[in-house]
Structure 1
Amino acid sequence: MRRPNPLRSLTLRLTLVYMALFYASIGLMLGASYLGGVWRPLQEVERQLTVESDRLVAIHRAQGRDALIRALERRAAQPRGRLPYHVLIAPDGAVVAANLLDWPRIRGPEWVRYEFGTYATGAEEEHEAVVRDLALPGGWRLLVGRDTEDLDEREDLITEALSWGLGMTLALGVIGGLVMTYSVAQRLESINRAARAVIAGDLSGRVALRGSGDDFDQLAATLNEMLARIEQLVASISRVSDSIAHELRTPLTRLRAELEDLAAAEDPAETQALTAAALDEAARLQSMFEALLRIARLQSGPQVARSRVDLSALLADAAELHRPAAEDRRQTLTEAVEPTLAVAGDRDLIFQMVSNLLDNAIKFAPEGGRVSVEGRMTTGGVAVVVADDGPGVPPEAREQVFERFWRADGQAPGFGLGLSLVAAAAEAHGATITLADNGPGLRVTVRFPG
């Protein structure tokens, strides 16, 4: 099988999606930092400069050029907060007042962010500043600004952090995505190997566990349980198939022999006897197949229809039905059923289950023995107990008694399907079955949920 392409891996795609979300979160975080740390302070500087420049323009308009120069000098000599910058240029281009070394020689936009040279601190320095460039009456030009070097450094820091952060995140994300994709692909490949082994017919393969207890280990454990169950069911089907072939061989052989004898018979009485024997054998085969089909439907079909079942009355009816069979063998059939017991389920199916248990108990109890049926409330539900004083079932064989065609001594009467039907009916009702020693005999307890 072709190995998966890591570039088409879901893990890698999820990693890339996560990286995109991480980039977006970094962008939002740095955008918020820029908004609060750069853009809003710049807006505040521009607002302050608007107030100052409007006041200076009013002084020039009301008191003249000399008053404006004095106001600019006072402003430069008493800096408050950010360093103040100014340039006053005459119509002929001569500089009348300035504390800047350079400025835009040609007037452009009203607001300018520019790196100006200044000697405001006594030595030539380069500072980023926000400047308002105004045209005054008579051809004069006034530039008024404030130092924003700290905001420029902060902006550079945010830009650098953004570029480095995104670059490193991209590199680490791609490397981490490839590593994670490879690791996940290895774990998935172990699951695929087990699945391919099952497809090839080997049900003994299992997914390797690493013992980490992570999601993959839990998935592997679940798959192993499923494979074990499938292996168990396939083995059970194989045993059932072998048993069916074995069980059918004898009755079919007898049926064929009886039909051959019937074909050769000439005496009407003999013909009638052979016909009756053949019909009996066919009826036995039909009963076997009907039991097998009913078990199969219970185990694989939809849930049984549920209604309120009067279990006390049902147990009494089942005991009454089997009492003649017990009396024929001089057995004592006792009842100990609490009144008003009720469960939710299919009455006919529950009756068949109890009937099979009683039939099995009467069959294996000795002549003159004891058989009992009990019904009582228990913690969390209702218990039905059928017991006998027969040979019982060894503990090591109690897991096998519910398998199709299993019989304790291999020669017991019947098909070996009665307890299989009991198990299927109990499972369909959510009930549990336990077998115990009755000292002597077998004690079967069916517990219905409350």
Structure 2
Amino acid sequence: MRSLTFRLGLIYVALFLTSLALLFGTAWWIGVHRPLTAEADRVRAEAAALVRIDATQGRAALIGALDRRREGAGKTRAFHALVGSGGVVATANLPSWPREQIAGWQLLEADLYFEGQEIDFEALVVERRLADGARLIVGRDVEEIDDRDEMFTLNSAWMIAIAALLAVGGSLAMGAAISRRIDAVTRTARRVMAGSLTERIPLRGTGDDFDELAETLNLMLGRIEESVESVRRVSDNVAHELRTPLARLHADLDELRTADNDAERERLAEQAVAEAERLQAIFDALLRIARIESGRHFAGTKPVDLSLLLADAVELHGPDAEDHAQTIAARIAPGLTIEADRNLLFQAISNLLDNAVKYGGEGGSIGVEADAVDGRIRVAISDRGPGIAPAYRERVKERFFRLPETAGRPGTGLGLALVAAIVALHKGSMEIGDAAPGTKVVLTF
């Protein structure tokens, strides 16, 4: 009973048999009960008419009417018995009748014999007492309806029994099929729990609900595998990135302890402070990314004038670009408005401009474009630097990942990871492409 498929199978059997019983019940009511009720009403009407004949025209007229009724052509055979108060039969074509008075209506066996053959009849009869105490029993043959009743009773019992067996078998087969599909999911989940993140739920290719569920779960497992791999890479990168400044800080402090003049001690102290500040910057960036990804750093969205925000960011980085003999060409559509956290969005744009200045090359140009198309706002920032190879364009969004050719330059490798986290928080997209030459980063909101 703890199995869901078993319980569903029982419910299925119960519903199926209930439906079948209701179906047979309805058929019996239409095919047996209603015709019997109609025949009973007809016989009652005939009995009432015969009682009136006896009361108004006398007993002889009643007997004549009964004989004519018996001989008359009709769809069903007519039966009667007229028994005086003393028990003497005046006229009858019923083989027998109850000794006690009949209340309501009753079915009597009225079989007749002709030339050694039995002819089956079933009489639906009613009884009326006449004024002198005589018994008047009137009826009609309902053998056809009675046969139908027997057929319903016998066949419905057999059919319900067979249907019950088929329903139980069907429910067991259905439960087994469902259990196999669920077991496949369970086995895969347990293997994943055991550490095998490459496991996937097998698909049958039928496109049914279980295939759709399996496909969704496989996509989820793929995302989990990517996330775990990303965490592993981040852990490795954190260890790698922190090892060097910590080693330098340790070396500077160790040398500071044995320095023999003030100038040397001051130089080593400044180096130690610089390494500590680098460590602090790394930890601050990591903490900020974690808070943004969890939503804890999100102050909520408000309408932000993106055109003005981009102009402010360009103005902020203008002097730094001039120091590198670079120019910033801005083509920003006016009146662009977005629901966003202004500080986080400004940080993302500022990081992209900082990268464009840093890696755009001396004397190059930086492009800043913004426009609205089909209800979406598109911001593109490009430079004329060496660009990013296609193989690295997704990986540069990871924490601490740095291109081989830029590994020796100052930086923490967290800038684009922070931008990606901010864009994802605003339900936007970030694409890194080729500016031919250079790098082009497109943000879409």
TM-score range, shorter chain: over 0.9
Instruction: Measure the CA separation in 1 of the matches of 2:432 and 2:397.
Output: 11
After the TM superposition, which of the residue ranges 140-149 and 123-132 deviates more from structure 2? Answer: 123-132
SS at structure 1 position matched to 2:395: coil
SS at structure 2 position matched to 1:87: strand
The letter of the residue matching 2:344 is: L
- Residue of structure 2 equivalent to 1:298: 292
Query: Which of residues 428, 432, 439 is equivalent to 1:431?
Result: 428
Query: Which of residues 279, 286, 289 is equivalent to 2:280?
Result: 286
SS at structure 2 position matched to 1:207: coil
- Residue of structure 2 equivalent to 1:321: 316
2:12–2:171 contact (8 Å) kept in structure 1: no
Instruction: Measure the CA separation in 2 of the matches of 1:146 and 1:137.
Output: 24
SS at structure 1 position matched to 2:437: coil
- Residue of structure 2 equivalent to 1:52: 46
How many Å apart are 1:133 and its aligned residue?
2.5
SS at structure 1 position matched to 2:204: coil
Query: Which of residues 68, 76, 79 is equivalent to 1:74?
Result: 68
Provide structure 2 residue ranges, at least 5 long, that are not aligned to the other structure: none
1:8-407 correspondence to structure 2 within 5 Å: 8-118=2-112, 124-265=118-259, 267-301=261-295, 305-407=300-402
After the TM superposition, which of the residue ranges 121-130 and 435-444 deviates more from structure 2? Answer: 121-130
| Deviations 1:393-444, CA, capped at 9 Å, x for gaps | 1122212111111111232320111011111111111222222222221111
The letter of the residue matching 2:3 is: S
Instruction: Measure the CA separation in 1 of the matches of 2:425 and 2:121.
Output: 86
1:373–1:386 contact (8 Å) kept in structure 2: yes
Instruction: Measure the CA separation in 1 of the matches of 2:304 and 2:85.
Output: 112
- Residue of structure 1 equivalent to 2:412: 415
Q: Normalising by the residue count of structure 2, what TM-score does the alignment of the two structures yield?
A: 0.93
Instruction: Measure the CA separation in 2 of the matches of 1:119 and 1:79.
Output: 20
Instruction: Measure the CA separation in 2 of the matches of 1:392 and 1:327.
Output: 21
1:103–1:116 contact (8 Å) kept in structure 2: no
Instruction: Measure the CA separation in 1 of the matches of 2:288 and 2:13.
Output: 57
1:88–1:140 contact (8 Å) kept in structure 2: yes
Q: Percent identity?
A: 46
1:90–1:141 contact (8 Å) kept in structure 2: yes
2:301–2:339 contact (8 Å) kept in structure 1: yes
2:382–2:439 contact (8 Å) kept in structure 1: yes
How many Å apart are 1:267 and its aligned residue?
4.1
How many Å apart are 1:75 and its aligned residue?
1.1
The letter of the residue matching 1:148 is: V
Provide structure 1 residue ranges, at least 5 long, that are not aligned to the other structure: 1-6
2:102–2:126 contact (8 Å) kept in structure 1: no
Q: Normalising by the residue count of structure 1, what TM-score does the alignment of the two structures yield?
A: 0.92
SS at structure 1 position matched to 2:110: strand
| Deviations 1:99-125, CA, capped at 9 Å, x for gaps | 122333444535211221246999752
Instruction: Measure the CA separation in 2 of the matches of 1:316 and 1:297.
Output: 27
Instruction: Measure the CA separation in 2 of the matches of 1:121 and 1:130.
Output: 25
- Residue of structure 2 equivalent to 1:4: none
How many Å apart are 1:341 and its aligned residue?
1.6
Instruction: Measure the CA separation in 1 of the matches of 2:194 and 2:138.
Output: 86
